[in-house]
Amino acid sequence: MKNLVKFLFIFSYVSIFPNLAQTFAKTPSEKGLEIAKIMQERSEGYKGEISSMTMTLINAHKEKIERKMTGKVLEIQGDGDWSLSEFLSPLDVKGTKMLTWSFKNESDKQWLYLPAIKRVKRISSSSRYSSFMGSEFSYEDLGSQDIEKYNFTWLRDEGKNHVVQRVSKEESGYSKQIIYVDQKNYSVRKIEYFDRKNELLKISEFFEFKDYKVGAKTFHKANRITMKNVQTQKESIFEWSDRKVGVNISKSELTEKALK
Amino acid sequence: MNKFFHITLFAVFLANSAIADLGGEISFENRYFPKNVANSTGTEKEDYNLSAYGRFYLENTNENFSYKLSAFGRFDALDEKRRFFSIEDLYLEKSFSEVMKLSLGYKVYNFSVLEIFHPTDILNSRNFDGDFERLEKRGEMSLEYGLYSLTSSLSFYYFPLVEKNIYPGAKSRFGYDRTFDTYKVATEDEIITNKRFHPQYGVKANTKISDFDLSFFYFKHIDRNHPLFLFDDYITSPMLLPKNSKAIVPHLYEVQDYGFSLVGEISGTLLKFESVYHDFSKPKEALLYDGARFLLFAPENYMEGALGLEYLISLENGHDVTLFAEWQKIIFEKNSYQKMAIPFQDDLALGFRYALNDIAGTEFYTFILGDLSGREEGVVSTKFSRRFNERIRYEVAGRYIWAQETDNFGLRALKDDHYLSFNLRYFY
């Protein structure tokens, strides 16, 4: 009798557990989404950020030009962030300001103030595929990265990173993006961008991580991002300085009133 | 009073210049007009236009208080009428809270949302010897009180002064063969020469609804954008005649403007619309020669509207192409002389901007403009600009204008005003 019970237990373990394991195992999509949710959760709660930025553009002949700007970003609870950037150089675009309102469930809204003609121009959402100030970064790369806008698929774990594919649910300049996410702190280390023909177009890498403490939470943020276009050999480098995270910014500082 | 105000504000700005942001540009303009018709002689000749243009600004903004000074000047080697200095901004601004702001001083107001046509740019005097799509405006002395929310704003304006327009001189390519050193301000009650003080006011509301940015305004002001060139004075007996047949003076009429503009996005295409209804009430009449006879004339009410579409295409090589189409239409009850003051009466402009997005910021900009009412007239304009280095940008442009009609309406005033230009701009 005792042996029968033992047999039934072993039988049930062998025959039932694999099914249970199969039931609870995550699909690549679920695992990809889970990683993306952790990334988002870790990036939430920074309140606001102000910084100075330098963008270095390098062409295929290795000629360089620097663009300097200042920026402020306000975290909107439950929705996309609002940001305001002002260009300080080159001097012919000095004073140009860009206001962006990002949304989780609709297209971002953008306005540009052009000091040379003293006008505020609305920018269409189709501009998200275009280059940001002549750099290898597009407006799409720098805009809202809310997880609601993408489908995620976990591909593999490689070294210390999760490798996740994300495909935009909206119209995009890319067929897919492959993201390398640090398994320890869930910060992005590298992104490979594939063009609409599914060929590798650009590689972005993240460096100079610093910890920023806001309340009880610590944010692990890159202060240098490189973007290399593997098809044209052009490169752009985005660097932050004087970065303050956890700053209280009022919504009224990020309205059209602030543009003029 | 006016000079005292300028000097006081200049002193405030200069005293604070050490902590302010300072910058500007110096531009060397070189235009070549292949055909310049002098009305007095009827002769045609080639003409050059060599000038230096400078703009500077000084501004300081902190949480609750800001000030700005920006001005420009031009020195033309050949035309003394193009030698001038003009203030664009000279104001102090104080925010009393997140929702309230007060500013006092000279300001340029741009209400238009379109590239080529600007019917809602009703304020500010301007230089009439400039590109029509990029108006060269003078600052307007104003007191502005604004109330703001996240998605809306309401601003009240008071303008005590009438700023002078800058008209092309006798030597200009327009060949008017006369200078317009005086002007007349015409209201319901009077017509006064060189009137400087005249109360003008208005209100403007902006709001965002769904994907659309909307704006509404009302202004009662002196219309300087559409001056009417009428005789200075006249006699009625024995018949209607000018006292001096050469004394034609720009008449600036008081008008009530009711305006509206909209910008929205539909499937990635920007839709833009703006319109103004100009109500002249009961203006005083002045003498006009319509080509056949002398008659007393007063401006009539009319509607001016423009519609625009803009679409941006990002190419796989990283270049951007922005396509745009704009149509302007004015509606008068009859074929009024007033139409002469408005070159674009039923015109369609099609154009594109091609940006290479390279480190030199290389850009091509072209548009073609034609009349839809059957008049043989139009404009082709093209411009190439590129950054030479961090401080210098150069620009090569060309414009061809055709105006085959023999009346004085539409683009006739700009007939044969073709040019080629090369501008070198140094930024500091």
Domain hosting A194: range is 28-258
- Give contacts of A121 with chain B, Cβ < 8 Å: 113
Tell me the shortest Cα–Cα distance from A134 to chain B, in angstroms: 4
How many domains are contained in chain B?
A: 1
- What are the angstrom distances between the C-alpha of A219 and each of A39, A54, A186, B373, B404? 11, 21, 10, 63, 68
Q: Are B183 and B166 in contact, with CB atoms under 8 Å apart?
A: no
pLDDT bin (cut points 50, 70, 90) of residue A18 is very low
Q: A16 in a domain, yes or no?
A: no
Quick one: DSSP state of residue A115? T
Q: A131 in a domain, yes or no?
A: yes
Ordered alpha helix ranges (H), A82-178: 139-142
- Give contacts of A127 with chain B, Cβ < 8 Å: 312, 314, 320
Q: Under 8 Å CB-to-CB from B228, ≥6 apart: which residues? A: B250, B251, B253, B286, B288, B297, B299, B337, B338, B341
Quick one: DSSP state of residue A222? E
Residue B420 belongs to a domain with what CATH number? 2.40.160.10
Q: Which residue of A has its CA nearest to B363?
A: A134
Judged against a pLDDT cut of 60, whether residue B38 lies above it is answered with no
Q: What is the reported pLDDT for B397?
A: 94
Give B332-353 pLDDT, tens digit per residue: 877 677 877 788 889 999 999 9
Q: Count how many pairs of residues, chain A against chain B, have C-beta atoms within 8 Å.
A: 100
Q: A12 in a domain, yes or no?
A: no
Give B39-50 pLDDT, tens digit per residue: 445 555 566 677
In this complex, do B359 and A129 lie within 8 Å of one another by their Cβ atoms?
no
Most confident of A199-213, B91-105, B238-252: A199-213
Domain hosting B408: range is 2-427
Q: Scan residues 98-117 of A and list those with Cβ closer than 8 Å to B.
A: 107, 109, 117
Q: A250 in a domain, yes or no?
A: yes
Look at chain A and count its residues: 260
Residue A67 belongs to a domain with what CATH number? 2.50.20.10
Smallest CA-to-CA distance from B253 within B210, B304, B297, B211 is with: B297
Instruction: Give counts: helices (H), strands (E), chain B.
Output: 1, 27
Give B298-329 pLDDT, tens digit per residue: 899 999 999 999 999 988 888 999 999 999 99
> Which two three-digit tokens encode residue A97?
């300001």
- Give contacts of A229 with chain B, Cβ < 8 Å: 318
- Give contacts of A57 with chain B, Cβ < 8 Å: 359
Instruction: Indicate the burial class of B292 (C-beta count within 10 angstroms; 0-12, 13-18, 19 or more).
Output: exposed
Q: A10 in a domain, yes or no?
A: no
pLDDT bin (cut points 50, 70, 90) of residue B37 is low
The amino acid occupying position A74 is L
Q: A3 in a domain, yes or no?
A: no
Judged against a pLDDT cut of 80, whether residue A213 lies above it is answered with yes
How many domains are contained in chain A?
A: 1
Task: Say what the alpha-carbon torsion angle A31, A35, A37, A39 is, to the nearest 10 degrees.
Answer: -170
Query: Would you call A248 an interface residue with chain B, using a CB distance cutoff of 8 Å?
Result: no
Three-state DSSP state, B3: helix
In this complex, do B270 and A124 lie within 8 Å of one another by their Cβ atoms?
yes
